[in-house]
A and B are shown apart, each in its own frame.
Chain A
Amino acid sequence: MSSGSFNPFEMAQAQFDNIAEQLDLEPGMRQLLRNPLREYHFLIPVRMDDGSTQVFRGFRCQHNDARGPSKGGIRFHPQETIDTVRALSMWMTWKCATVDIPLGGGKGGVICDPHHLSAREQEQICRGWVRQLARNVGPVQDVPAPDVMTNAQHMLWMLDEYEHIHGGHAPGFITGKPVGMGGSLGRTEATGYGVIFTVREALRELGIRPQDTLASVQGFGNVAQYAIRLYNQLGGKVTCVSSWDQGDQTSYAFRKQNGVDIEELVSITDRFGGIDKNKAEGLGYQVLPGDAWIEEEVDILIPAALENQITGETVLKISQRVKVIAEGANGPTTPEADQVLFERGVYLIPDVLANAGGVTCSYFEQVQSNMNYFWERDEVLGKLDVKMTAAFEAVSELAKKRGIYQRDAAFMIAVDRVARACRDRGWI
Chain B
Amino acid sequence: MTNPDLPISDLLSSLKERAKELNCLYAVEEILNEPDISPEEACRRIVVVIPPGWQYPGICRAEIELRGVTHRAEEFEPTPFVLTSDIHTQDEAVGSVRVYYLEEMPAADSGPFLKEEMRLIKTIANRFGHYFHHHRMKRHFGKWESARQSLKVEHREDWRIVLDLLARTDHSLYLKMAHMMLNHLCWSGVRPAEDLLRQSDEFRQADEVDLFIDSNVPHQRRVHAFPEEMAARTFEIASDHLSDEEIFYRVQKWVQEDRLAFLVRAVERNQSLAEVTDAIRRYEHISTNEGDLSQPVRKVVRVSLIRRFLSDQLSYIRVAKEYFGISDFHDLQQRIIFSRDSFGRLGGKSAGLFLARQILRHERENHPEIGEVRAPKTWHITADMQLNFMHYNNLDEVIEQKYKDIGQIRFEYPHIVHTCKNSRFPPEFLKGLSLALDDLGDSPLIVRSSSVLEDRVGAAFSGKYKSLFVGNQGTKQERIEALLDAIAEVYASMFGPDPIQYRTERGLLDFSEEMGILIQQVVGTKVGKYYLPTFAGVAFSSNEFRWSPRISREDGLIRLVPGLGTRAVDRLSDDYPVMFAPGQPGLRVNVSPDEIARYSPRCMDIINLETNAFETRGAGELLAELGDELPGWAKLVSIQDEDRIRRPSPLDDEVPADKLLVTFEGMMSDQAFVAQMGTILTVLEEKMGAPVDIEFAHDGKHLHILQCRVQSNADDSSASPIPKDVPDSRLVFTANRFISNGRVPDATHIVYVDPEKYGELAERKDLLAVGRAVSKLNMLLPKRRFILMGPGRWGSRGDIKLGVSVSYSDINNTSVLIEVARRKGNYTPDLSFGTHFFQDLVEARIRYLPLYPDEEGVVFNETFLRCAPNIFADILPEDAWLADTIKVIDVTRAADGLVLRVLMNADLDEAVGMLADPATEVVESLDRYSAKIPVSGEHWRWRIRMVEYIAAEIDAEKFGVAGLYVFGSTKNCNAGPGSDIDLLVHFAGTREQEVLLTTWFDAWSKCLDEMNYVRTGYRSGGLLDVHLVTDEDIEHQTSYAVKIDAVTDAARKLRLPKK
Q: B-contacting residues of A (Cβ < 8 Å)? A: 1-2, 4-8, 11, 49, 75, 77-81, 84, 113-121, 146, 148-149, 151-153, 176, 178-179, 183, 187-188, 246-247, 249-250, 270-272, 308, 334
Indicate if the CB atoms of A149 and B762 lie closer than 8 Å. Answer: no
Indicate if the CB atoms of A121 and B586 lie closer than 8 Å. Answer: yes
- The contact sample of 5 A-B pairs, CB cut-off 8 A, is A2-B759, A8-B764, A49-B586, A118-B587, A334-B765
Specify the chain A residue showing the minimal Cβ separation from B549: A116
What's the Cα separation between A247 and B572 when bound, in Å? Answer: 11
Indicate if the CB atoms of A6 and B550 lie closer than 8 Å. Answer: no
Indicate if the CB atoms of A188 and B642 lie closer than 8 Å. Answer: yes
Indicate if the CB atoms of A178 and B802 lie closer than 8 Å. Answer: no
From A6, A49, A250, B801 is in contact (CB under 8 Å) with: A6
From B549, B550, B592, B765, A114 is in contact (CB under 8 Å) with: B592
Minimum CB–CB distance from B320 to chain A (whole Å) comes to: 36
Specify the chain A residue showing the minimal Cβ separation from B801: A6
Q: Given known contacts A78-B830, A148-B798, A153-B644, is B593 in contact with A1 (CB within 8 Å)?
A: no
**B835 touches A (CB below 8 Å):** yes
Minimum CB–CB distance from A17 to chain B (whole Å) comes to: 16
Minimum CB–CB distance from A2 to chain B (whole Å) comes to: 6
Q: Encode contact with A along B785-810: 1 for CB under 8 Å, 0 otherwise.
A: 00000001100001101100001110
Minimum CB–CB distance from B802 to chain A (whole Å) comes to: 4
What's the Cα separation between A81 and B825 when bound, in Å? Answer: 15
Indicate if the CB atoms of B592 and A149 lie closer than 8 Å. Answer: yes
**B640 touches A (CB below 8 Å):** yes
Q: Given known contacts A5-B761, A8-B764, A84-B799, is B643 in contact with A79 (CB within 8 Å)?
A: no
Specify which chain A residues have a CB less than 8 angstroms from the CB of B809 in the assembled complex: 249-250
**B77 touches A (CB below 8 Å):** no
Q: Given known contacts A11-B764, A78-B830, is B643 in contact with A152 (CB within 8 Å)?
A: yes
Minimum CB–CB distance from B574 to chain A (whole Å) comes to: 5
**B846 touches A (CB below 8 Å):** no
What's the Cα separation between A271 and B598 when bound, in Å? Answer: 8
Minimum CB–CB distance from A417 to chain B (whole Å) comes to: 26
Minimum CB–CB distance from B771 to chain A (whole Å) comes to: 10
Specify which chain B residues have a CB less than 8 angstroms from the CB of A5 in the assembled complex: 759-762, 801
Minimum CB–CB distance from A338 to chain B (whole Å) comes to: 13
What's the Cα separation between A272 and B763 when bound, in Å? Answer: 31
What's the Cα separation between A11 and B388 when bound, in Å? Answer: 80
Indicate if the CB atoms of A4 and B762 lie closer than 8 Å. Answer: yes
Specify which chain B residues have a CB less than 8 angstroms from the CB of A148 in the assembled complex: 798
Which 5 interchain pairs have the tightest Cβ spacing?
A118-B586, A249-B809, A116-B548, A152-B644, A79-B802
Indicate if the CB atoms of A247 and B762 lie closer than 8 Å. Answer: no
What's the Cα separation between A247 and B835 when bound, in Å? Answer: 19
**B930 touches A (CB below 8 Å):** no
Indicate if the CB atoms of B762 and A151 lie closer than 8 Å. Answer: no
Q: Given known contacts A49-B586, A116-B587, A121-B586, is B547 in contact with A6 (CB within 8 Å)?
A: no
Indicate if the CB atoms of A178 and B644 lie closer than 8 Å. Answer: yes
What's the Cα separation between A75 and B796 when bound, in Å? Answer: 14
Interface residues in B948-978 (C-beta closer than 8 Å to A)? none
Q: Encode contact with A along B514-525: 1 for CB under 8 Å, 0 otherwise.
A: 000000000000
Given A2-B759, A78-B793, A152-B642, 13 more A-B residue pairs with CB atoms under 8 Å apart are A6-B764, A78-B829, A78-B832, A79-B792, A79-B793, A116-B830, A117-B586, A118-B586, A151-B643, A178-B644, A249-B812, A271-B640, A272-B597
Q: Encode contact with A along B586-608: 1 for CB under 8 Å, 0 otherwise.
A: 11110111000110001000000
Specify which chain B residues have a CB less than 8 angstroms from the CB of A179 in the assembled complex: 642
Indicate if the CB atoms of B574 and A80 lie closer than 8 Å. Answer: no
Specify which chain A residues have a CB less than 8 angstroms from the CB of B833 in the assembled complex: 115
Indicate if the CB atoms of B759 and A272 lie closer than 8 Å. Answer: no
Q: In the complex, which of the residues A2, A7, A79 has the most CB atoms of chain B within 10 Å of its own CB atom?
A: A79
From B548, B643, B792, B829, A115 is in contact (CB under 8 Å) with: B548
Q: Encode contact with A along B623-659: 1 for CB under 8 Å, 0 otherwise.
A: 0000000000000000011111000000000000010
**B767 touches A (CB below 8 Å):** yes
Indicate if the CB atoms of A80 and B593 lie closer than 8 Å. Answer: no
**B855 touches A (CB below 8 Å):** no
Indicate if the CB atoms of B642 and A115 lie closer than 8 Å. Answer: no
Minimum CB–CB distance from B196 to chain A (whole Å) comes to: 70
What's the Cα separation between A148 and B793 when bound, in Å? Answer: 15
Indicate if the CB atoms of A178 and B812 lie closer than 8 Å. Answer: no
What's the Cα separation between A75 and B585 when bound, in Å? Answer: 24
Interface residues in B311-357 (C-beta closer than 8 Å to A)? none
Minimum CB–CB distance from B810 to chain A (whole Å) comes to: 9
What's the Cα separation between A172 and B866 when bound, in Å? Answer: 55
Specify which chain A residues have a CB less than 8 angstroms from the CB of B587 in the assembled complex: 115-118
**B766 touches A (CB below 8 Å):** yes
Specify which chain B residues have a CB less than 8 angstroms from the CB of A308 in the assembled complex: 765, 768
Indicate if the CB atoms of A249 and B808 lie closer than 8 Å. Answer: yes
What's the Cα separation between A357 and B732 when bound, in Å? Answer: 52
Indicate if the CB atoms of B644 and A271 lie closer than 8 Å. Answer: no
From A4, A7, A115, A272, B835 is in contact (CB under 8 Å) with: A115
What's the Cα separation between A334 and B809 when bound, in Å? Answer: 23
Q: In the complex, which of the residues B585, B658, B767 has the most CB atoms of chain A within 10 Å of its own CB atom?
A: B658
Specify which chain B residues have a CB less than 8 angstroms from the CB of A153 in the assembled complex: 644
Specify which chain A residues have a CB less than 8 angstroms from the CB of B642 in the assembled complex: 152, 178-179, 183, 187-188
Specify the chain A residue showing the minimal Cβ separation from B833: A115
Minimum CB–CB distance from B1027 to chain A (whole Å) comes to: 14
What's the Cα separation between A337 and B602 when bound, in Å? Answer: 39
Specify which chain B residues have a CB less than 8 angstroms from the CB of A114 in the assembled complex: 591-592
Q: Given known contacts A2-B759, A79-B792, is B586 in contact with A178 (CB within 8 Å)?
A: no
Specify which chain B residues have a CB less than 8 angstroms from the CB of A247 in the assembled complex: 574
Specify the chain A residue showing the minimal Cβ separation from B640: A271
Specify the chain B residue showing the minimal Cβ separation from A121: B586
Indicate if the CB atoms of A113 and B597 lie closer than 8 Å. Answer: no
Indicate if the CB atoms of A79 and B574 lie closer than 8 Å. Answer: no
Indicate if the CB atoms of B799 and A271 lie closer than 8 Å. Answer: no
Specify which chain B residues have a CB less than 8 angstroms from the CB of A4 in the assembled complex: 760, 762
What's the Cα separation between A118 and B591 when bound, in Å? Answer: 9
Q: In the complex, which of the residues B588, B640, B762, B767 has the most CB atoms of chain A within 10 Å of its own CB atom?
A: B762
What's the Cα separation between A178 and B833 when bound, in Å? Answer: 31
Specify which chain A residues have a CB less than 8 angstroms from the CB of B550 in the assembled complex: 116
Minimum CB–CB distance from A320 to chain B (whole Å) comes to: 23
Specify which chain B residues have a CB less than 8 angstroms from the CB of A183 in the assembled complex: 642
Specify which chain A residues have a CB less than 8 angstroms from the CB of B658 in the assembled complex: 271
Minimum CB–CB distance from B109 to chain A (whole Å) comes to: 78
Specify which chain A residues have a CB less than 8 angstroms from the CB of B588 in the assembled complex: 115, 118-119
Specify the chain B residue showing the minimal Cβ separation from A178: B644
Q: Given known contacts A2-B760, A8-B764, A187-B642, is B798 in contact with A77 (CB within 8 Å)?
A: yes
Q: Encode contact with A along B558-602: 1 for CB under 8 Å, 0 otherwise.
A: 000000000000000010000000001111110111000110001
Indicate if the CB atoms of B802 and A78 lie closer than 8 Å. Answer: yes
Specify which chain A residues have a CB less than 8 angstroms from the CB of B802 in the assembled complex: 78-79
Indicate if the CB atoms of A79 and B829 lie closer than 8 Å. Answer: yes
What's the Cα separation between A113 and B547 when bound, in Å? Answer: 12
Q: Given known contacts A49-B586, A246-B574, is B759 in contact with A79 (CB within 8 Å)?
A: no
What's the Cα separation between A8 and B640 when bound, in Å? Answer: 34
Specify which chain B residues have a CB less than 8 angstroms from the CB of A188 in the assembled complex: 642
Minimum CB–CB distance from A68 to chain B (whole Å) comes to: 25
Indicate if the CB atoms of A6 and B586 lie closer than 8 Å. Answer: no
Indicate if the CB atoms of B586 and A120 lie closer than 8 Å. Answer: yes
Specify the chain B residue showing the minimal Cβ separation from A48: B550
Indicate if the CB atoms of B793 and A149 lie closer than 8 Å. Answer: no
Specify which chain A residues have a CB less than 8 angstroms from the CB of B584 in the assembled complex: 118
Specify which chain B residues have a CB less than 8 angstroms from the CB of A270 in the assembled complex: 602
Interface residues in B766-785 (C-beta closer than 8 Å to A)? 766-768
What's the Cα separation between A146 and B793 when bound, in Å? Answer: 22
What's the Cα separation between A11 and B835 when bound, in Å? Answer: 29
Specify the chain B residue showing the minimal Cβ separation from A308: B768
Specify the chain A residue showing the minimal Cβ separation from B825: A1
Q: In the complex, which of the residues B550, B598, B767 has the most CB atoms of chain A within 10 Å of its own CB atom?
A: B550
Indicate if the CB atoms of B801 and A151 lie closer than 8 Å. Answer: no
What's the Cα separation between A176 and B812 when bound, in Å? Answer: 35
What's the Cα separation between A51 and B835 when bound, in Å? Answer: 25
